[in-house]
Amino acid sequence: MIHKQLFIALGFLAFTACQKPKVEEAQKTPTTAEKTETVSTTTMPKTPKSGEPEMSVGLPPDQKALETAKKEQQNTSNVIYFKEGENKFLKEYETNITFKQITEDSRCPKDVNCIWAGAATAEIEVMGLHTRPVTLKLSTINDANKNYHKSQNFNGFSISLVEISPETTADKGFKALKGSYKIGLKFAKENSENQDGTTMK
């Protein structure tokens, strides 16, 4: 009989031990009527407007950094991009421009060390409202001996080649990239920037 009582007592203790965590869990979780909804919002960091230099928080702006940012911004103003074969009429310059092709790309591939940086030359056709079409060749470097000109004048504006992409690599050279080139042309009033180009009118 003692065994029976001992067995019942142990069973009762085990039963209450199992029930105790369930009661504690029930007390911790609120009922549906007591539940409150928590909404968290994340604020995105404020990004500067395009064209504005990014600055550190809490530090006064560095004058030299501001001047550098302004120069970089001016370098990209008045730049118009063309895909190979693309034609655009630029109303503000009263000029029709066609990016014909890249005639040469001997630039050093970006993953190779070279002795000479090389040059790339873009052939564009320009035509003003009152002029005949003229073909200009603009290069990535200035070298009058090799007939490389970064900019040339036409119809009162200096047209400069500021960008050619993509860059050549060891795997993809000039022939592989033919037809997929893009260029950036910068326009400025004729005597405002440089005078090393050829004048065409």
- Could you read off the pLDDT of 97-130 as tens digits, one per residue? 999 999 999 898 887 888 888 899 999 999 999 8
DSSP 8-class letter at 196: -
Which residue did the predictor score with more confidence, 76 or 176? Answer: 176
SS3 content of the chain, % helix, strand, coil (to 5): 25, 30, 45
pLDDT beyond 80 at 153: yes
Length of the chain: 201
- Could you read off the pLDDT of 39-51 as tens digits, one per residue? 555 555 555 555 5
Q: Is 0.85 surpassed by the pTM of this model?
A: no
Query: What pLDDT shows up at residue 186?
Result: 92
Which residue did the predictor score with more confidence, 137 or 30? Answer: 137
Mean pLDDT is highest, among 13-17, 44-48, 192-196, for 13-17
Predicted confidence band at 140 (pLDDT cuts at 50, 70, 90)? very high
Identify the CA nearest to 126 among candidates 151, 163, 162.
151
Identify the CA nearest to 142 among candidates 175, 119, 122.
119
DSSP state letters, 8-71: HHHHHHHHHHHHHHHHHHHHHSPPTTT--------PPPPPPPTTSPP--TTSPPPHHHHHHHHH
